[in-house]
Structure 1
Amino acid sequence: MTKELTYPIFLGSEIEQPKPEEALFHIVPVPFERTVSYGGGTNEGPSAILEASWQLEEWDGKSKPCELGIYTHGPVDCDADADQVIENIAAAVKPICEMGKMPVGIGGEHTVTYGIIKGMLDAGIKDFGIVQIDAHADLREAYEGDKYSHASVMKRCVDEGIPLYQLGIRAYCEEEIEIRKKHGVYYQDADDLVPQNISAIELPEDFPKKVFFTLDIDGMDPSVFPSTGTPVPGGLGWYQTLGLFESVAKQREIIGFDVMEFAPIAGFHAYDFAASLLMYKMMGIIERSR
């Protein structure tokens, strides 16, 4: 399941680790990297983000999201086959959801998201949708023969019957276009969002009232985050990304989120800090939307 708390706690320079039942946000670090198909380093993402979070201020510019409580778990045990790691992630997330708290995943490759979703399903959470920011559709049935590939994670989720809305996609294959049609996936791709600088969307009326939000760092433009294994030009900007997230939070109840595919670059701590700030800004948006 999880190991001892070997990483720093999130925002540990400003807050102490609360009791689990006293925290809304439960951070689950998952240093899993097994199927990356270009650059590596996502297994170092969780520790880099947590270490950089010690440079954050409690005040995020509008409020203090830490006042809702942030509990940092030990890293999920990733020393196993992918299917067992998925189960380990699910086992870590299930009790968080059973307490009525919010899982906040830090990856790791995007495969991790399916483990979080499975934990939510195992906890009995139903009738929720997923909103995804990403450069890639991740809807392949399998990639290089692996159904748990980072390129297949959203296919695993829609196979569970979970509605999906994709934002910022700009790299996909014909198979994924057909899967979008088959599963009724909603989307606004980068070629629509970015040239028009669209920073808010209106979710369809029939989209679930509860939402899990997954943010792949490569959904943002490489000029903002080159620190990812599969960068694609033409991505979302910083304020655009936060605006899209906020527009979803204003319309629906966010019940969890994650930040995936962050691969720190040695010597460039600005990106580590930016990733930790991004997470804290997302917490602040959730706090103010409640």
Structure 2
Amino acid sequence: MHTEDPNIFLGSEIEQPRPEDALFHILPIPYEETVSYGGGTGKGPAAIIEASHQLETFDNFSSPCELGIYTREAVDVSGPAEQVMENIASATREILAMGKMPVGIGGEHSVTWGIIKGYLDAGITDFGVVQIDAHADLRDRYEGHKHSHASVMRLVCEAGISLFQLGIRAYCEEEMDARKQYNVGYLDAHQLVPTQVQSFELPENFPSKVFFTLDIDGMDPSVFPSTGTPVPGGLGWYQTLNLFESVAKQRQIIGFDLLEFAPIEGFHAYEFGAAHLLYKLMGIVQRNQR
């Protein structure tokens, strides 16, 4: 008889597998330190896991849970930013050492650097990052923070990792200069949303492996107002999924994260939507495995 576990993703439907038997290792990272507008992202991981108990195991195309979903303990996010990033990197290295796929849920966007650091520390360097976001996150630092949600992609670029951005619609001149300096590829919201672009081609020389980072504010506030820094003119539900799948068809997805979700008390639709989105991404990875 199945016993529901409130602390694991899809715990109403599945038992927690052994970590070695699961491809997807969900890594909750409830970090919220450098947010600059609305708050609440620290509560995102727990809300997403709780809402996942309302999901169906069949996502209309396949059952991603068949590949195994292991929910890890939340990362310790106490202490200074540098220590938090090291904690995230250490947890990521553990997942990679088992040959499994990190699936981060945040938490503010700065945590992506901790995950990427985990890959680099594990000796995995032959990959690029594709980002869905409202913001470029390419500032050298923001409000004095190098490990800021507004600087995380700058750290990625400084580490020599190729970056391609989708849906950006809020950036400053410093970030435009950084795009040129680091040869960042991009299709901004004004190039994607008005004509509802559903697929695109990554540059031919873009790495064959991809870590995909999805800031939920990359989607339009009409879909997810539940984020700290919403910007009008974002991606829709199906467009987001189709762009993710476009990448999965071209390259090998080696991990992904879903960040900046800030629950709104009393509006469970957004919590369920975020859990549903995360599971849909797993399904796309499952159906496009290489």
Letter in structure 2 aligned against 1:146: H
* Distance (Å, rounded) in 2 between the aligned partners of 1:14 and 1:76: 24
- Counterpart CA distance in 1 for 2:183 and 2:118 is 24
Paired position in structure 2 for 1:35: 34
Deviation at 1:98, TM superposition (A): 1.4
Alignment of 1:221-240 (within 5 A): 221-240=220-239
Please name the residue that 2:258 is paired with: 259
1:1-290 map, 5 Å: 8-290=7-289
Q: Is the 8 A contact 1:7 1:75 kept in 2?
A: no
Q: CA-to-partner distance for each residue in 1:77-132, whole Å, 9 max, x for gaps?
A: 01111110000000101011111110000000000100000011111112100000
Q: Structure 1, residues 234-264: CA drift from partner, whole Å, max 9, x if none? A: 0000000000000000000000000000000
Rounded to whole Å, the distance in 2 between the matches of 1:125 and 1:96 is 13
What root-mean-square deviation, in Å, do the aligned CA atoms of Structure 1 and Structure 2 show? 0.8
Alignment identity in percent?
71
8 Å CA contact retained: 2:219, 2:237: yes
One-letter amino acid of the structure 2 residue matched with residue 254 of structure 1: I
Partner in structure 2 of residue 3 of structure 1:
none
Cα-to-partner distance string for 1:19-44 (whole Å, 9 max, x where unaligned): 11110000000000000000000000
Q: Does the residue aligned with 1:249 lie in a helix, a strand or coil?
A: helix
The Cα of 1:7 is off from its aligned counterpart by 6.3
Give the distance between the partners of 1:81 and 1:26, measured in 2 at CA.
25
The amino acid that maps onto 1:217 is I
The two structures have a TM-score, normalised by structure 2, of 0.97
Structure 1 unaligned regions, length at least 5: 1-5
Which deviations, in whole Å up to 9, do the C-alpha atoms of 1:39-66 show, x marking residues without a partner? Answer: 0000000000000000001100000000
8 A contact 1:79–1:85 mirrored in 2? yes
Q: Is the 8 A contact 1:7 1:74 kept in 2?
A: no
Q: What letter matches 2:217 in structure 1?
A: D
In 2, Cα distance between equivalents of 1:97 and 1:125: 9
Q: Name the SS for the 1:256 alignment partner.
A: strand
Amino acid at match of 2:85: I
SS in 2 for 1:267: coil
Give the TM-score of the pair, scaled to structure 1.
Answer: 0.97
Runs of 5+ unmatched residues, structure 2: none
Rounded to whole Å, the distance in 1 between the matches of 2:200 and 2:24 is 25
Structure 1 CA distance for aligned equivalents of residues 31 and 242 of structure 2: 29
Q: Deviations over 1:168-218 (max 9, x none)?
A: 000000000000000000000001100010011111110000000000000
Distance in 1, matches of 2:166 and 2:50, equals 29
Amino acid at match of 2:175: E
Task: State the alpha-carbon separation in 2 of the partners of residues 158 and 126 from structure 1.
Answer: 12
Distance in 2 separating the partners of 1:211 and 1:120:
12
8 Å contact kept, 2:6–2:12: no
TM-superposed deviation, 1:74: 0.5
Partner secondary structure for residue 89 of structure 2: helix
